[in-house]
Structure 1
């Protein structure tokens, strides 16, 4: 693997509704991003008791990622923005008609609730989990609108995530017709299983990736899957559990 010879330390102090402290350190073949997890834009509202709490995020990932020829999909956190906020598009909730809310953490139905379309988000397509960890399920336009260029963040395997709006189109599409089981009704995006990958229907592959300026990168898109949910490089353990994730078994999202 190619090794970067220089070390770069960058601290971002942004102004707005809150002060977001982010440090990005690059040394050799590792890039580490630390932050307090507090975004620099307005958040909420959700339930009155659901509030953003400062975190001790540290995500270290491959600074010179390479395609491995394999795909990894079981990752809790997909990546992190350049502003230090986790990307966590998936949920641990499933359709459950026996639950008062209509869903629970019992996966037996096989219908996984999609964050965008299935749960309550704020204006930046985000909310907090049970430990007050703020995270994005979809595009935060307060962030993408303030980018200096197209670099939006870094994925769990180290590849860059870019946002170029409509110039990058997901190849995941809503299935036609009605659901044959579970909750019934039309495939409307409430559940992950409402979508299917249709190669060539968009410009991106199944992991929301493509070549960009001569390099393989992922894209954040305005439609499902929003952020990469599978990965073609070597995934850092910090995105599965560890220093970047203080609660590796998962804390429930608050709706």
Structure 2
């Protein structure tokens, strides 16, 4: 082992001291505080659901009629299946009790595709549309009004680009991925589990389950492998969204930070080659109800589950806060 002689070690210390004292020719070195913590979020990833063990005291009402150009749907927004406990009290999933609504939706009977997609979320003002209505009369309304920084009452300074993903945080959803608005309207944020179970949907058939706000049909999960051939195999449709990798770019003050984990809808990104479906979780093709072909949407198990974009022009009857 080699040792530095005392006299040499002392000379080295004096030289270092001399350099550090001379601040006229050297730059200051930044000091890193080892106690400074990395930016994190207090939002918790939570996909748990409440039980569905409540029978509603209302009968489900759904009526559909058509004219030459319009499909009209009337509903009281009450499902036929069991729901969670809502309305306050012990075990309640949120304080809003389910109540009958009086909804009328007018949709184009022969919808057309728009030149571009329309988002359900306006990044300046928040959610602007619900997505559609199922054949039980209950709305699909996937976008939560939960912008960053999540401080209760909404203010003009919220960041709608970073909106909590209702399916991945605890917003009091029951087993149907549904809960209740302050108006008493029961609505789905994701796959309507018991509604689908009651339909007993086979995995070798396309099954239409509702209409989107632009008039195009909605199917659940399965569709023809060859979109142009109704005799081709029926397969599970895959969305083209993936969870981003790395960390969010925010500072924790104006935008969230921490790792992309699905807490925010914006944690996901559309990658055209990642799946079968397009940005609106849909595609063009033939279906049992539209043998000549149409654009149609698909409810998937994976994100986004319920589409977050329209391919056509949405009816104002689905505009939120109207």
**TM > 0.5 fold call:** yes
Flag structure 2 segments of 5+ consecutive residues without an equivalent: 1-53, 90-94, 121-127, 223-234, 287-292
List aligned pairs for 1:37-48, cutoff 5 A.
37-46=77-86, 47-48=88-89
Distance change >3 Å, CA 131–CA 64, structure 1 → 2: same
Counterpart of 2:164? Answer: 113
Give the drift of 1:109.
Answer: 6.8
The superposition leaves residues 148-194 of structure 1 with CA deviations (integer Å, 9 ceiling, x where unpaired) of 66111101100001002571111111111222213322212111110
Counterpart of 2:143? Answer: 90
Matched position secondary structure for 1:161: strand
- Would the aligned equivalents of 2:131 and 2:213 in 1 still touch at CA under 8 Å? yes
Q: Return the alpha-carbon distance in structure 2 between the equivalents of residues 108 and 160 of structure 1.
A: 32
Kindly indicate whether residue 215 of structure 2 is the aligned counterpart of residue 161 of structure 1.
no
- Would the aligned equivalents of 1:220 and 1:226 in 2 still touch at CA under 8 Å? yes
Q: Return the alpha-carbon distance in structure 1 between the equivalents of residues 237 and 154 of structure 2.
A: 34
Matched position secondary structure for 2:159: helix
| TM-score normalised according to structure 1 size | 0.81
- Would the aligned equivalents of 1:93 and 1:107 in 2 still touch at CA under 8 Å? no
Moved more, 109-118 or 86-95: 109-118
Higher relative contact order (CA 8 A, sep 6+): 1
Counterpart of 2:282? Answer: 209
The superposition leaves residues 78-97 of structure 1 with CA deviations (integer Å, 9 ceiling, x where unpaired) of 10001100110002211216
Q: Return the alpha-carbon distance in structure 1 between the equivalents of residues 209 and 158 of structure 2.
A: 32
Counterpart of 1:124? Answer: 176
Kindly indicate whether residue 79 of structure 2 is the aligned counterpart of residue 61 of structure 1.
no
List aligned pairs for 1:133-172, cutoff 5 A.
133-147=185-199, 150-164=207-221, 167-172=236-241
- Would the aligned equivalents of 2:72 and 2:107 in 1 still touch at CA under 8 Å? yes
- Would the aligned equivalents of 1:96 and 1:104 in 2 still touch at CA under 8 Å? no
Flag structure 1 segments of 5+ consecutive residues without an equivalent: 1-15, 242-246, 249-255
The superposition leaves residues 27-64 of structure 1 with CA deviations (integer Å, 9 ceiling, x where unpaired) of 11211111111111111235433221110011110111
Q: Which has the larger radius of gyration?
A: 2
Matched position secondary structure for 1:146: helix
Give the one of 154, 173, 189 matched to 2:242.
Answer: 173
The superposition leaves residues 86-142 of structure 1 with CA deviations (integer Å, 9 ceiling, x where unpaired) of 110002211216x2x6x8565237411111112221000000011111110000121
Distance change >3 Å, CA 110–CA 205, structure 1 → 2: closer
Matched position secondary structure for 2:309: coil
- Would the aligned equivalents of 2:117 and 2:310 in 1 still touch at CA under 8 Å? yes
Matched position secondary structure for 1:169: coil
Kindly indicate whether residue 299 of structure 2 is the aligned counterpart of residue 230 of structure 1.
no
- Would the aligned equivalents of 1:34 and 1:57 in 2 still touch at CA under 8 Å? yes
Counterpart of 1:252? Answer: none
Matched position secondary structure for 1:173: strand
Q: Which has the higher strand share?
A: 1
Counterpart of 2:260? Answer: 187
Give the drift of 1:221.
Answer: 1.0
Please tell me the root mean square deviation across aligned C-alpha atoms, in Å. 2.2
Matched position secondary structure for 2:182: coil
- Would the aligned equivalents of 1:95 and 1:104 in 2 still touch at CA under 8 Å? no
Matched position secondary structure for 1:115: coil
Q: Return the alpha-carbon distance in structure 1 between the equivalents of residues 114 and 160 of structure 2.
A: 33
Counterpart of 1:7? Answer: none
